[in-house]
Amino acid sequence: MSLETLESAPATGALAELVAHATRLYEDLELKGVRDWKAQDPSRRAIGFLPVYVPREVIHAANALPVGIMGGGDQIEIVRGDSYFQSYICHLPRSVIELAVSGRLAALDGLVFPSICDVIRNLSGMFKVLLPDRWVHYLDLPQNFDRESGGRFYRHEMATIAKGVSALTGVEVTNERLSASISLYNENRRALAQLQQMRVASPWQVPATEYYLLLRASYVLPPQEHTDLIRRYMQLSAASGRVEQDNIRVMVRGAFCEQPPLGLLRTLERAGCYLVDDDLVLGARFIPQPIAQDGDPWQALVDAFLYHTLPTASKYDVQASKEADLVQSVKEVRADGVLLMAPSFCDPALLDQPMLAHALEKAGIPFTSFKYAEDTGQFQVIREQAGTFADAIKLWGTT
Ligand code: SF4
């Protein structure tokens, strides 16, 4: 069987139209869709946010659209972005600067930069200088997961975001509005969980590129619209008649911030790998289970962050064991192996990688690792590496 035949059958008909729609949203670096959404109601505002996680419910409750900014991928040429940074840091901030200075972020009325690494912290300062007419907020996420200290601190941070966005929209974040937003995002969580279940049960029905495009759509669409998109996709894909190929099942870890180009995900599938779990676009499902809807909605958001977020390199929780969680997750999704793929120069991902590799070794789980950048254009080496990994597992069950 040639490598090409290992890829899932391409979408056709209504499914192809839906995927094309998601692709257009992904390619919309000018944020035209966001501008159209704002044009329907002059009081609407849009707030950009950087990876990994911000409480989108708070922004939404203030009548603004949270818009995820994931860099320019391989779609833009960096003209000025490089001049802002030294050569030995990741690529994402360069393309985000390029998006800003080229006017592509004009639809955004404000931006939130969550604390995940020094690069994002510095970027927030640069935006204050570059776009002085926008509301720019650095969201200091707690590193203490105790309700009385980290929890109180986080609640205060969310209140600051609510105040900042409300000043732009004129809409106060009341408990009622926040509860309604939590409810909408909970529906979205349920739909995403069902999509993930479908992927684990029959990955040939949810190709990696399509799954990824659907996740990216959640960063530009209102939550209800995105939930509808997911549900429609599941119906169409289940009825599409795609058949299983002789691929291995892999889990991806390390891709939570700067995203690989779409072509790289396609390459992994062509090399014989079904992605059954990953941490791409992690902010879209950082709290995978629905948030409590009884009681104080602010406290519910606090508790969800403290106790129900997924482990990741950008979250420092001394109580949690990322190694044990990784091994457990591999079992749950029945992965044959793990791809530890990280953006070049990404300190959080690359610092965690030896620890994760050690845990996989100890548990006898095959893995391989490689680096990428959002604008990686040559996939041949990765294709050979992933193909060899897949073949070794098929032949011997290990590498
Ligand atoms: S890719 Fe890594 S180093 Fe770069 S901004 Fe994201 S978390 Fe920070």
Q: Domains of the chain: which residue ranges?
A: 29-177
Q: For residue 123, which atom of ligand 1 is closest to its CA?
A: 5
Distance CA 360, CA 338 (A): 8
Distance CA 25, CA 248 (A): 30
Q: Are 63 and 173 in contact (CB under 8 A)?
A: no
Handedness of CA 120, 123, 128, 132 (dihedral sign): negative
Q: For residue 345, which atom of ligand 1 is closest to its CA?
A: 3
Is residue 2 scored above 50 in pLDDT?
A: no
Report the number of secondary-structure helices (H) and strands (E) in the chain. Answer: 14, 8
pLDDT confidence bin for 399, thresholds 50/70/90: low
SS3 readout for 37-62: HHHCCCCCEEEEECCCCCCHHHHHHC
Q: Which two tokens stand for residue 56?
A: 């989108």
CA of 56 to the centre of ligand 1 (A): 20
Q: From its phi and psi, is residue 272 left (phi > 0), alpha (psi between -120 and 50) or beta? A: left
CA of 49 to the centre of ligand 1 (A): 14
What pLDDT sits at residue 321? 86
Is residue 229 scored above 90 in pLDDT?
A: yes
- For ligand 1, atom 6, the nearest C-alpha belongs to 257
Distance CA 292, CA 351 (A): 34
Ligand 1 pocket at CB < 6 A: 51, 90, 92, 116-117, 119-120, 257-258, 314, 343, 346-349
CA of 373 to the centre of ligand 1 (A): 11
CA of 317 to the centre of ligand 1 (A): 18
| Mean pLDDT (whole number) for 134-148 | 95
Say which amino acid occupies 223: P
Q: For residue 258, which atom of ligand 1 is closest to its CA?
A: 1
* β-pair partners for 49: 68, 112
CA of 94 to the centre of ligand 1 (A): 11
What pLDDT sits at residue 205? 97
Choose which CATH entry (3.30.540.10, 3.30.70.520, 3.90.1300.10, 3.40.50.11890) describes domain 29-177. 3.40.50.11890
DSSP state of 76: S
Select from 258, 314, 353, 375 the residue to mutate for testing ligand 1; criterion: most ligand atoms less than 8 Å from CB: 258
3-class DSSP assignment, residue 87: coil
Q: Are 327 and 365 in contact (CB under 8 A)?
A: yes
pLDDT confidence bin for 1, thresholds 50/70/90: very low
Q: From its phi and psi, is residue 364 left (phi > 0), alpha (psi between -120 and 50) or beta? A: left
| Mean pLDDT (whole number) for 180-194 | 98
CA of 292 to the centre of ligand 1 (A): 31
Cis check: omega of the bond before 52, within 30 degrees of 0 = yes
Q: How far is CA 4 from CA 10, 178, 226, 271, 336, in A?
A: 12, 48, 31, 8, 21
What pLDDT sits at residue 7? 61
What pLDDT sits at residue 5? 41
Is residue 102 scored above 90 in pLDDT?
A: yes
pLDDT digits (tens, 9 = 90+) for 261-296: 999 999 999 999 999 999 999 999 999 999 999 999
Residue 117's CB: how many other CB atoms inside 10 A?
Answer: 21
- For ligand 1, atom 3, the nearest C-alpha belongs to 346
DSSP state of 91: S
Q: How far is CA 106 from CA 32, 100, 134, 162, in A?
A: 10, 8, 10, 21
